[in-house]
Amino acid sequence: MTAASRRRPRAGDEPGEPPPGDPEQHPGDPEAVARAICLRLLTQRARSRAELADALARRGVPEDAASAVLDRFTEVGLIDDAALAEALAGAQHRERGLAGRAVAMKLRQRGLPEESVRAAVAGIDREAEQARARELVERRRRALSGLPPEVQARRLIGLLARKGYPAGLAHELVRSVLAEAAGWEPDEA
């Protein structure tokens, strides 16, 4: 047991609670409170302007103070929705294997503006999407190799559907991969 785990919890230990001496505890200047909240949230991870605005509204920061702070943070580059959208889109596509449609949905859930979402998703072209889908199918097919081809096909198509790939692409790709691997052709009946 470490010393940190033995000590009693103090104010500021909880993720949503400000540390002692923080301007959030003494609501004098709403802009100082807004700055402190935004800086604390931005030290944890990059956030969109909409996420920060929601956090400020939940903490009761007046809208004019929140807007002034968010405008200033955008001006100095602490908030950059376009760069955040681009980084998230690339990571979601490369690391999680999501299709462009699913990536766009994730970005919208983060409150990113539509023009940033469109620009970020534009970087995922059809060829990159097909190549990533093929990688996913081939990797997962190895784990399913002991199952009948019909079961493999059903599970692989489901995998691609959950990742946001179009049904036509999923069927075509799974049929192709299974035909290459096992010489399987589905019954068209």
Whether 22 shows a pLDDT value over 70: the answer reads no
Q: What's the average model confidence in pLDDT over 169-183?
A: 85
Q: What's the average model confidence in pLDDT over 34-44?
A: 94
Whether 128 shows a pLDDT value over 90: the answer reads no
* Residue 107 tokens, joined: 């970005």
Q: How confident is the model at residue 18 (pLDDT cuts 50, 70, 90)?
A: low
Assess contact for 174 and 157: CB atoms under 8 A: yes
pLDDT at 136: 92
Assess contact for 13 and 54: CB atoms under 8 A: no
Question: Per-residue pLDDT tens for 143-173?
Answer: 888 888 889 999 999 999 999 999 999 999 9
Question: Rounded to whole angstroms, how far apart are CA atoms 40 and 50?
Answer: 16
Whether 11 shows a pLDDT value over 50: the answer reads no
Burial 16-36 (b: 16+ CB within 10 A, else e): eebeeebbbeeeeebbbbbbb
Class of domain 28-79: mainly alpha
Report CA Rg, the chain: 23
Question: Per-residue pLDDT tens for 40-59?
Answer: 999 999 999 999 999 999 99
Question: Rounded to whole angstroms, how far apart are CA atoms 134 and 152?
Answer: 14
pTM above 0.75, yes or no: no
Between the alpha carbon of residue 90 and those of residues 44, 100, 124, the distances in Å are: 20, 10, 8
Question: Per-residue pLDDT tens for 58-109?
Answer: 999 999 999 999 999 999 999 999 999 999 999 999 889 999 999 999 999 9
**Nearest partner of 113 among 90, 82, 87, 92, judged by Cα:** 82
pLDDT at 187: 55
